[in-house]
Amino acid sequence: MSVILSIETATTNCSVAISKAGKTIVLKEDNSKNYSHAESLHVFINAVLKEAGITSKDLDAVAISKGPGSYTGLRIGVSAAKGLCFALDKPLISVPTLEALAHQVKANDGVIVTMLDARRLEVYAAIFDSNYNRIRETEAQILDENAFTDYLTTGKVYFVGNGVEKTKDLIKHENAFFVEDKLPSASQMGMLAFDKYKNGDFEDVAYFEPYYLKDFVALKSSK
């Protein structure tokens, strides 16, 4: 029975879980609206291992949320995952952040649009059917009242993620449903990571990099 540690740091939610055979058995997370990953991540890792009654040596793999998302958050999560994999000689599994987020929505029909805030009127968005099959790849998309019209005119569209808040102010359509207050969580990563584990779909620990989608741009201080 595979035991996988999952780490999610793509947004303000610092989230860590232990899963067995794809089922989450322990979850520790904090979405205090501030990025506390540097202070909290390793504390949470130790906490879930203790609660699960195992040590790091009992892990079969480490899964990391690969992005897109916060540049700094992703770097912290990936660095921690790589460090564990190197130290323990365990495989590294990457889970697309927006795919895991889609599993927070239970829909019988229509499509699921997972979206993360990319500042201003832009989001990182991917689209899945009600069975969580990806039907549009992740894109950096500018929002306006006509965004996602092709999907809205043919059926229900469920929007989820921290890009929802600004989306609901722009899109007014009877087929638009907004699932609020949801962020990527390690609780949805276990099943996806387990599928990859069974297929031996591992990352190169030395060369793996997060999926930023856009290059990081450092802004000059106004002071």
**3-state helix/strand/coil string of the chain:** CCEEEEEECCCCCEEEEEEECCEEEEEEEECCCCCCHHHHHHHHHHHHHHHHCCCHHHCCEEEEECCCCCHHHHHHHHHHHHHHHHHHCCCEEEECHHHHHHCCCCCCCCEEEEEEECCCCEEEEEEEECCCCEEEEEEEEECCCCCCHHHHCCCCEEEECCCHHHHCCCCCCCCEEEECCCCCCHHHHHHHHHHHHHCCCCECCCCCCCCCCCCCCCCCCCC
Q: What pTM did the predictor assign?
A: 0.93
Predicted confidence at residue 11, as pLDDT, reads 95
Predicted confidence at residue 219, as pLDDT, reads 39
Predicted confidence at residue 97, as pLDDT, reads 98
Predicted confidence at residue 32, as pLDDT, reads 79
Predicted confidence at residue 1, as pLDDT, reads 77
Q: List the chain pLDDT tens, one digit each, 223 residues.
A: 799 999 999 999 999 999 999 999 999 999 877 788 999 999 999 999 999 999 999 999 999 999 999 999 999 999 999 999 999 999 999 999 999 999 999 999 999 999 999 988 999 999 999 999 999 999 999 999 999 999 999 999 999 999 999 999 999 999 999 999 999 999 999 999 999 999 999 999 999 999 998 654 443 445 4
Predicted confidence at residue 217, as pLDDT, reads 41
Predicted confidence at residue 34, as pLDDT, reads 78
